[in-house]
């Protein structure tokens, strides 16, 4: 049979200044902390006693001299504890979370929503046709940039002052290096380290997603 777990919410919902804990139950560390803060005494029930509502004081708040009578979990991470206490104080999931205050929200970009524009290249070359679209940038609070790039039949040289990961989505992506050509096909991942001199190429057309570090890859 599964053991009963006494959570911080159980302590929060205690009707008075005492909460009866079934024998063998596990009291979470956060529950013990909330009990201490609210002055709620945790006591273990005595299964051999008559069912009159009475209980034996087998345990109090975890950390007291009676602590051994109630198994407790490991103390939570401070950030997790702060978030949980904030939720309890606010009454639910909708409460403010001090650990995420001021942070940027999760961003979801659906494939096909990007609007690629021609990639500026030294000398103003437009052959082959290369288009990029940054969809996650420093403006989103990210130290990296993520985006999409398309390349039409041909090759062009490029020097990277940043690290880049490429995930091939369509076609073949050919990365020319001093050690030969690496050919990426749909589902393949390539990593090009900072300082590399390469050529981007494709025999027909390719589309891939890229992640660069740092975010300002275009300098």
Confidence of residue 179 (pLDDT cuts 50, 70, 90): very high
Taking the C-alpha atoms of residue 10 and residue 13, their distance in angstroms, rounded to an integer, is 5
Give the per-residue pLDDT at 80: 62
CATH (one of 3.40.350.10, 1.10.260.40, 2.60.120.10, 3.20.20.70) for 117-213 = 2.60.120.10
Give the per-residue pLDDT at 70: 54
Give the per-residue pLDDT at 103: 80
| pLDDT at residue 69 is higher than 50 | no
Strands 130-136 and 41-44 come out as unpaired
Q: Greater confidence, 15 or 172?
A: 172
| pLDDT at residue 99 is higher than 60 | no
Tokens at 16, concatenated: 């008075």
Mean pLDDT of the chain: 80
Question: Domain map of the chain by residue range?
Answer: 5-90, 117-213
Average pLDDT over residues 186-211: 96
Q: What is the pLDDT of residues 27-52, one digit of tens each?
A: 887 788 888 888 888 888 765 555 44
């Amino acid at each position: 049979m599964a053991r009963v777990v006494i959570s911080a919410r159980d302590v929060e919902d205690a009707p008075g200044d005492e909460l009866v804990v079934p024998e063998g139950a596990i009291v979470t560390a956060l529950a013990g902390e909330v009990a201490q803060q609210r002055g709620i005494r945790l006591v273990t029930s005595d299964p051999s006693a008559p069912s009159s509502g009475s209980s034996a004081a087998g345990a109090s708040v975890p950390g007291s001299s009676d602590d051994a009578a109630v198994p407790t979990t490991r103390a939570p991470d401070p950030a997790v504890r702060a978030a949980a206490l904030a939720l309890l104080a606010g009454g639910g999931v909708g409460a403010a979370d001090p650990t995420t205050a001021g942070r940027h929200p999760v961003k979801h970009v659906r494939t096909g929503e990007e609007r690629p524009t021609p990639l500026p290249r030294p000398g103003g070359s437009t052959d082959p046709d290369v288009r990029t679209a940054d969809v996650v940038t420093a403006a989103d609070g990210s130290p990296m940039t993520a985006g999409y790039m398309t390349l039409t039949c041909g090759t062009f040289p490029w020097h990277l002052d940043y690290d880049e990961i490429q995930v091939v989505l369509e076609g073949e992506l050919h990365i020319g290096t001093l050690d030969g050509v690496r050919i990426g096909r749909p589902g393949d991942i390539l990593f090009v380290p900072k300082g590399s001199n390469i050529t981007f190429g494709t025999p027909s057309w390719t589309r891939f997603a890229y992640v660069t570090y740092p975010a300002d890859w275009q300098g």
